[in-house]
Structure 1
Amino acid sequence: MADFQTIRTAGTGARAAQIDEGLRAHMNKVYGLMSVGMLLTAGVAWGVGTTDVLMQALRGADGGMTILGWVVMFLPLIMVFAFGAMINRLSAAAAQLFFYAFAAVMGLSLAWIFQVFTGISIAQTFLITSIAFAGLSLYGYTTKRNLSGMGTFLMMGLIGLIVASIVNIFLGSPALMFAISVIGVLIFAGLTAYDTQSIKNEYLEHAVHGDQEWLAKSAIMGALRLYLDFINLFMFLLQFMGNRE
Structure 2
Amino acid sequence: MSRPDYLNMKNGDSHRAEPVVLDAGSYRDEVVTTDARKVLRNTYMLLSMTLVFSAAVAGMSMAFNWPHPGLILTLVGYFGLLFLVEKTKNSAMGLVSVFALTGFMGLTLGPIVSMYAKLPGGTEMIMTAMGATGLIFFAMSAWVLTTGKELSGMGKTLMVGILVAFGLSIANIFLGLPVLSLAVSGMFVMLMSGLIAYQTSAIIHGGETNYISATVTLYVSIYNLFLSLLQILGVMGSDD
What's the TM-score, normalizing by structure 2?
Answer: 0.76
Identity of paired residues, percent?
29
2:36–2:203 contact (8 Å) kept in structure 1: no
Moved more, 17-26 or 34-43: 17-26
Query: Is 1:222 the counterpart of 2:214 in the alignment?
Result: yes
| Mapped contact 2:39–2:203 kept (Cα < 8 A) | no
Deviation at 1:71, TM superposition (A): 4.6
Partners of 2:110 and 2:174 in 1: CA distance: 20
Of 167, 183, 205, which aligns to 2:187? 183
The equivalent of 1:123 in structure 2 is 127
Q: 1:231 aligns with which of 220, 223, 239?
A: 223
In the other structure, the counterpart of 2:55 is 42
Which residue of structure 2 aligns with residue 62 of structure 1? none
Structure 1 residues 155-170: aligned runs within 5 Å: 155-170=159-174
Q: Could you report, residue by residue, the CA deviation over 1:172-199 in whole angstroms, capped at 9, with x for unpaired residues?
A: 2211101101111111111110111012
Q: Which runs of 5+ in 2 are unaligned?
A: 1-13, 22-31, 117-121
Greater RCO structure (CA 8 Å; 6+ sep): 1
In structure 1, distance between residues paired with 2:50 and 2:100: 9
Contact in 2 for aligned 1:140/1:192 (Cα 8 Å): no
Q: Sort the Cα spacing of 1:25 and 1:91 in 2 relative to 1 into closer, same or farther, 3 A.
A: closer
Could you say which residue in structure 2 is the equivalent of 1:211? none
Cα distance change on mapping 1:94 and 1:82 into 2, 3 Å: closer
Which of 56, 80, 83 is the matching residue for 2:82?
80
Query: For residues 130 and 188 of structure 2, what CA distance do their matches in structure 1 show?
Result: 16
Which 10-residue stretch deviates more, 179-188 or 72-81?
72-81
Q: CA deviation at 1:82?
A: 4.0
1:113-155 Cα offsets, whole Å, 9 max, x none, are: 2322123321221122111101101222332443122111111
Q: How many residue pairs are counted as aligned between the two chains? A: 207
Match of 1:103 in 2: 102
Counterpart-to-counterpart distance in 1, 2:137 and 2:90:
29
* CA–CA separation in structure 2 for the residues paired with 1:159 and 1:48: 29
Provide the C-alpha distance between the structure 2 equivalents of 1:183 and 1:81, rounded to a whole number of angstroms.
Answer: 25
Contact residue 55 and residue 106 of structure 2 kept, 8 A:
yes
Is contact 2:133-2:225 (8 Å) kept?
yes
Asked if the contact 1:46–1:114 (Cα under 8 Å) also holds between the matched residues in 2, the reply is no
Cα deviation 1:197-237 (Å, max 9, x = unaligned): 0122226x8xxxxxxxxx5xx01111111111111111111
What SS is found at the alignment partner of 2:110? coil
Matched, 1:15 2:18: yes
The aligned runs of 1:52-91 (5 Å cut-off) are 52=65, 54-55=66-67, 58=68, 68-74=69-75, 75-84=77-86, 86-87=87-88, 91=90
Alignment match, 2:158: 154
Q: Is the 8 Å Cα contact of residues 145 and 200 (structure 2) preserved in structure 1?
A: yes
Distance 2:206 2:217 in 1: 13
Q: Is the 8 A contact 1:72 1:108 kept in 2?
A: no
Structure 1: gaps spanning 5 or more residues: 1-9, 59-67, 206-214
Amino acid at match of 1:109: T
